[in-house]
Amino acid sequence: MERIKWDRLLPPLVSRGGRPLGLGRLAARGAAISFLAQVIRLVIQLLSLVVLSRFLSPEDVGLVATAMVVIGLALVLQDLGLSSAAIQATNLSDGQRSNLMWINVALGSVLTLVTLLAAVPLAGVFGQPALIPIFQVLAAQFVLASGTAQFRANIVRELRFTSLAIAEVSAQIIAVTCAIWLSVLGFGPWALVLQVMLSQVVLTSALVPLGRWPIRWYNHRHSIRALLFFGANLAGTQVLNYLSRSADVFIIGATLSSSSVGLYNRALQTITVPLQQLQAPATTVALPVLSKLREQPGRFSEFLITGQTALLWGVMSLLAFVSAFSESIVAIVLGPQWTECAPLIRILAIGGLFQAAGYATYWIFLAKGLTSSNLRFDLYFRPLSIGCIFVGSLGGLSGIALGFMVSSFIGWVGALLWLSRIVRAPLLEMFLIALRAMIVFLGTSYAAKWLLGQFGIEANVLMVTFGLLIYTSTIIALIGVIATLRADFRRALKVLHYLRGAL
């Protein structure tokens, strides 16, 4: 494989003070800014998770989580994959961008109306009349989100990650502060509902002026057929993906109580918050760069492998530790009323490892323009994923968590096998890097927990503190003695080097 530096991936893209700034340097700067923003967002979300869990009951959380299953699906439909279509397009005129925006707005308006009319029957499906006003309020989110989609895409296309980061972090800080205040005042589930809405209002207010362009009325002369084809295939994939990811919460909401939904949702959030906060900026930066490199196999592979390794080490090192020390972490972070989350977190965290391992395959599908192939893959995989969760539901909440873990493993391996038939990419190397990381991080974290158990340490704070010390020191020692692990670590450090240099 051709070994090259990020700042030499392509010829210079822009010039600053007479010095060329290559695409790799822009990518590194974007990654640095996005990573810093996501660290801030992760801290805010974890703080929100801790504080709100002290003031909200599992039933409060479960009620909103149930509503968000439906709302989340509609949010996927209102975008129709057109944001990603705009981002990956080689050339995009103002007329085409305007056409995409009007389609998004039309879809968002229709979905708002449909949700308002369907609020009563939707609440009936879950046997929760309290969901009716929640559905009606959250329906307004579709109009706001649809109007913002292309403005955000324009900011990403121009690699203006600082502006995007400031807007997203500001919206989150304001929304979380409001939610905490309302939860203290006893607003229950409405604290979470208003958090969602306020975040969207603030984000829309920021992104529209930041990402504006000369907007025009819809005009058929500006063809968007190829973009619609890309978006429709991607939307189909996203819908199938969302249905499989939300099947667990839907099944629990339809068959068990709101408290059960709340317990499972909090366990799942403990895993997905760090997972999503690290994956999202990686995709934001990787997609436009990989799209430009897709005709240069050596450079494409180098960027892909380096980015995947950094993502995996960041995600897996955290999730493996959370899995091993779930009981102590729940007691410290969430409090005694969430104790039943611990065994769920232990299983879901391992599923999160498999999801992280397969995330770079999604980059390949998008960057190579293989959305139709991705859709065909998901037509096979997603029903199987839902089936795993449905079978697991026979064993209650733990069974559903196991179904999630098994389906995540199948999705990772299945995507690699599927891509091996249709695209040239370093798939075997991607598999081995992920497998090594899983074995090292999971094995080390559970060994640390076992060792502490032999010394009779039971206090939660001591368990986590000493566990983290043993875990970290062992990883460092393994890097020193295992050559392949050391090579992976150097790849991850390469990303950190460019992140530091780009800031």
Mean pLDDT of 268-291: 73
Mean pLDDT of 343-369: 89
User: Residue 128: what residue type?
Assistant: Q
Mean pLDDT of 382-395: 87
Q: What is the pLDDT of residue 501?
A: 53
The per-residue b/e assignment along 43-81, b for 16 or more CB within 10 angstroms, e otherwise, is ebbbebbeebbebbbbbbbbbbbbbbbbbebbbbbbbbb
pLDDT at 62 over 90: no
Tell whether 14 is covered by a domain. no
Give the whole-angstrom CA distance, residue 291 versus residue 85. Answer: 11
Tell whether 237 is covered by a domain. no
Q: What is the pLDDT of residue 36?
A: 76
pLDDT at 108 over 80: yes
User: Which of 293, 281, 294 has its CA nearest to residue 6?
Assistant: 293
Q: What is the pLDDT of residue 446?
A: 95
Give the whole-angstrom CA distance, residue 295 versus residue 326. Answer: 45
Confidence of residue 23 (pLDDT cuts 50, 70, 90): low
Which residue would you say has higher pLDDT here, 430 or 159? 430
Give the whole-angstrom CA distance, residue 244 versus residue 258. Answer: 20
Strand, helix or coil for residue 15: strand
Percentage, residues of the chain above pLDDT 70: 88
pLDDT at 18 over 70: no
Q: Give residue-wise pLDDT tens across range 397-448.
A: 889 999 999 999 999 999 999 999 988 888 999 999 999 999 999 999 999 9
Tell whether 271 is covered by a domain. yes
Tell whether 439 is covered by a domain. yes
Tell whether 102 is covered by a domain. no
Looking at the structure of the chain, the number of domains it has is 1
Q: What is the pLDDT of residue 181?
A: 93
Average pLDDT, the chain: 81
Mean pLDDT of 274-296: 71
Instruction: Classify 157 in phi/psi space as left (phi over 0), alpha (psi -120 to 50) or beta.
Output: alpha
Q: What is the pLDDT of residue 259?
A: 81
- Domain region containing 437: 260-503
Q: Give residue-wise pLDDT tens across range 25-34.
A: 555 566 667 6
Which residue would you say has higher pLDDT here, 26 or 96? 96
Q: What is the pLDDT of residue 17?
A: 46
Tell whether 89 is covered by a domain. no
Confidence of residue 65 (pLDDT cuts 50, 70, 90): confident
Query: Element (H or E) spanning 21, and its range?
Result: strand 19-22
Tell whether 495 is covered by a domain. yes
Tell whether 348 is covered by a domain. yes
pTM: 0.72
Q: What is the pLDDT of residue 31?
A: 61
Q: What is the pLDDT of residue 281?
A: 65
Confidence of residue 473 (pLDDT cuts 50, 70, 90): very high
Beta bridge partners of 15: 20
Q: What is the pLDDT of residue 499?
A: 54
